[in-house]
Amino acid sequence: MLAVIDQIREKTDMTYRAIADAVQLPYPSLKRWRAREKTEAPLVRQPGPPKIKPPDFNRLTQDIADLSHGQSRTQGTGALYATYRSSVSRRELQRMIEAARHDQHTLHRQNLRRIHWNVPNVAWSMDPCEYGGRDAAGAKVYLNHMQDLASRYKFSPMTGDMPCGEEIAGYLAATFNRFGAPLFLKRDNGGNLNHVAVNNALSDFFVIPINSPVHYPPYNGAIEEAQTELKNGLATKLAYKPNCPREHMETYAATVEHDLNHQPRPCLNGSNACHVYFTGRRTFTKWERRDAFEWLTDTQNDMLCSSEDVQPQAAWRIAVEAWLRIKGLITVTINGKVLPNFF
């Protein structure tokens, strides 16, 4: 840039200020650059105070890897900057931390075990959630959502207050009578989902419950994603009427579920959940349900007797997965590779 400006001055005899105005360059910057050129200093300096010495990048990389990386933030960045502030800028350190967090999350996603449910009506998943909006009275609205894991078919949710155990039991019984009961029901550890009335309803229809690990939402990630779809669709439906009367919420939610059930999905090879569920669902007799339950119970007891470190719920989940893989009802993969069956 300075060489070009000097050529312009030689050919036109214009002053440096006039040249700076012509090329839309601040004149103080031009003066500063010419002064740095005379002393052979860098024309442009990195923002921030100069650093004394380069950091030990091997140690710094390890310290960054040891930080607690969350989904969007990393804990301990302030203390780490205080340690390396004399050798690295805050901006550069933040860039390195963001890159390390991205790499860690990418590696974690690649190593996740992915379960593909091969047959509809083998397992359903249920979980209550809070809808972000409020009703006409300004009260919170809760949605008790349930779907089939293989087909993504969604059943009309309960809406209103947080449902108690008796209400959930009645909802399950009505849904089982209408669609036919699945073999398994995945749920979290909430008190209303593990209420005695819910357990009795599952026993009446010979449905085997599977509880998620405590504080590990990815185990039941399918229903988490389904909740997001339901809430987003409901917010779109109610955009013109944000404070909807509570008695109308269930109808709007059922309409959203109907739209989602007839939406083509790449994971279903372009088909929709309604078609996949009703054309490929599997039914189980009481004898099949009893045999499956006895096999799971025996396998759980064998694991508990062979190791004191295994918790009963963890042993139950392992037994369920083993039974499903043996029967060919699920396929477990990591990085697209099917895991072998060791049972």
Which pLDDT band, with edges at 50, 70 and 90, does 316 fall under?
Answer: very high
Q: What is the pLDDT of residue 49?
A: 63
Which pLDDT band, with edges at 50, 70 and 90, does 202 fall under?
Answer: very high
Q: What is the pLDDT of residue 57?
A: 82
Residue 186 clears pLDDT 90, i.e. is over it: yes
Q: What is the pLDDT of residue 70?
A: 84
Q: What is the pLDDT averaged over residues 240-247? A: 76
Q: What number does CATH give the domain 117-284?
A: 3.30.420.10
Which pLDDT band, with edges at 50, 70 and 90, does 106 fall under?
Answer: confident
Q: CA triplet 138, 252, 225: central angle to 5 degrees? A: 90
- pLDDT tens track for 280-291: 999 999 999 999
Residue 224 clears pLDDT 90, i.e. is over it: no
Buried b (16+ CB within 10 A) or exposed e, 320-338: bbbbbbeeebbebeeeeee
Residue 342 clears pLDDT 60, i.e. is over it: no
Domain limits of the chain?
2-38, 57-110, 117-284
For the chain, how far is it from start to end, CA to CA, in angstroms? 72
Residue 149 CB: number of other CB atoms within 10 A?
A: 24
- Selected residue with higher pLDDT from 87 and 165: 165
- pLDDT tens track for 37-63: 888 777 776 666 665 677 788 888 899
Q: What is the pLDDT of residue 273?
A: 94
Q: What is the pLDDT of residue 102?
A: 87
Residue 9 clears pLDDT 70, i.e. is over it: yes
Residue 260 clears pLDDT 90, i.e. is over it: yes
Name, in order, each residue with C-beta under 8 angstroms of 154's C-beta and a sequence gap of 6 or more: 145, 146, 147, 148, 226, 230, 257, 260, 261, 273
Q: What is the pLDDT of residue 236?
A: 87
Residue 254 backbone phi and psi in degrees, to 5: -65, -35
